[in-house]
Amino acid sequence: MNYLYDLWDDFLSLLFPRICYGCGNHLLRNENLICTECYVVIPRTNYHIQKENPVAQLFWGRCLIESAAAFSYYNKGSRIRNLIHNLKYKGIREIGFELGKIYGLTLKSSGFTDNIDIIIPVPLHPAKERARGFNQCKVISSGLADATGLPVNTTSFERVQASSTQTKRSRYDRWVNVEGIFRVTDPDSLGGRHILLVDDVITTGSTMESCVNELLKTEEVKVSVVAIAFAPA
């Protein structure tokens, strides 16, 4: 029976090939979303075991964080960039869960998440989240939660303003531009906690910086930050 099932499976995959969202190659029967080759060759930053890494350095002199890390690099044409594009712009949200899970296992086994209490995804403005249908950072966070066993909080921190595009602005303008964008709505649920703040891609760090400064207004809060990919500006 199994043999017949496999034949049928092969026949279906001829008609409807399943492809890897990272490289476009056909997936094997036991693969899902991301092929084994992508899983192996996607470069890891290993920033989680390097305290003074380039992502942590982005925040030096800007806001106080406990630690910072990113899973991979956001280079043009890279597999991780393809994956994030398929997640954000093609709406394949399972990719976010999978990437979060892969990274979460790494972070957990290294002890990076040992002192973390809750995971908070960088919020999208409600109008943007409605338009996209989901928040990619929330999906990534649920993968991280699945791997680490940590809870995700999506209700105590929100985005109150949609910001304009940041890429052509100076550092000072960006800073002015992100002040007051985020708001803690339930300080009681965050007080005294070590928060892991999650974004999909980190570039200048200004969005994260704005989040961190807002979160730190709550009593006794500590913040660490992670992203799936780092794109040096």
Go through 121-148 and write b for each residue having 16 or more CB atoms within 10 A of its CB, e for each that does not.
Answer: bbbbbeeebeeeeebbbbbbbbbbbbbb
Q: What's the min distance (Å) between Cβ of 106 and Zn ion?
A: 19
Q: What is the contact surface with Zn ion in residues (CB under 5 A)?
A: 20, 22-23, 35, 38
CB closer to Zn ion, 37 vs 117: 37
- Least distance between Zn ion and beta carbon 41 (Å): 9
Smaller CB separation from Zn ion, 31 or 129? 31
Distance in Å, CB of 10 to Zn ion, minimum? 19
CB of 6 to Zn ion, least distance (A): 22
Q: Which is nearer to Zn ion, 21 or 47 (CB)?
A: 21
Q: Residue 69: which of 233, 231, 232, 230 has the closest Cα?
A: 230
User: CB neighbours of 70 closer than 8 A, spacing ≥ 6?
Assistant: 45, 47, 55, 202, 226, 227, 228, 229, 230
How buried is 42 (Cβ within 10 angstroms: 0-12 exposed, 13-18 middle, 19+ buried)?
A: buried
Cβ nearer to Zn ion, comparing 35 with 139? 35
